[in-house]
Amino acid sequence: MGKVKYVLLDCDNTLCQSERLAFEACTDLSNEVLKKHNVDATYTVDQLLEEFVGHNFRNMLIGIQKKHDFKMSQDEQDDFVARELDEVTKKLSAKCKECPGADEQLQWIKDQGYPMAVVSTSAKPRVVASLKKTGLMRFFKDEHVYSAVTSLNPPSSKPDPAIYLHACKELGVKPEECVTVEDSKSGSTAAKRANIPLIAYVGIYNIEEGKEKMDQMANTLTSECNAISVMYDWKEFPECLKKVEATLS
């Protein structure tokens, strides 16, 4: 049995209950964009979450334009992305909570001697705001918080594996020597494409949407994204990690 050399962790709805808070701000801005471009449609928070969970706001805007057949200028997109980051960061700094049990298990990971890094689609200021508000930032060095928006040039977004490959290169490890924890299909797909062993965390769905959605995501992340283990509660992390390490040579 091998030993994982690095534990990589998604942030939004994996470490921190940040996704819904962020999408509240995204929804208001998305509807403002639609109204500005005379599109007779609006989104609710739940609709936007269902369609774009795991994507950053720039990718969300691209998807909305494609779906509703209109075009924003680059300057207009940049302006809305900047506004979204400001609004979301303020909201997360005030209200964000950890995913239940994450703090205890990060302490366990640290005590076992596993180094850790955060690998997120979201802009770094937003990620750091969530981690600081929940008290989880103490487990990570600032330079080990990687963002597909902030750390890459040009910016990217999961399911593109670029941010995972960048993080592994910076950390000096091979993707297959790591493990990651993801809650969304886009993040899990990025891990699969990067060849990083995956633990699927689905407990957040039971908290926010109910058991049916949780079971659906467990099946999806296993069958489509090759999750080695499914984590319904953070307290299960040590056993899930054992399953991953049992697959390593």
**How does strand 178-182 pair with strand 6-9?**
parallel
CA distance 80 to 44: 18
Here the tokens at position 145 are 């918080």
pLDDT in tens, the chain (249 residues): 689 999 999 999 999 999 899 999 899 999 999 999 999 999 999 999 889 887 889 989 999 999 999 999 999 999 999 999 999 999 999 999 999 999 999 999 999 999 999 999 999 999 999 999 999 999 999 999 999 999 999 999 999 999 999 999 999 999 999 999 999 999 999 999 999 999 999 999 999 999 999 999 999 999 999 999 999 999 999 999 999 999 997
Q: What was the pLDDT predicted at 243?
A: 97
| 3-state percent helix, strand, coil for the chain, nearest multiple of 5 | 55, 10, 30
Q: What is the pTM of this model?
A: 0.88
CA distance 171 to 144: 8
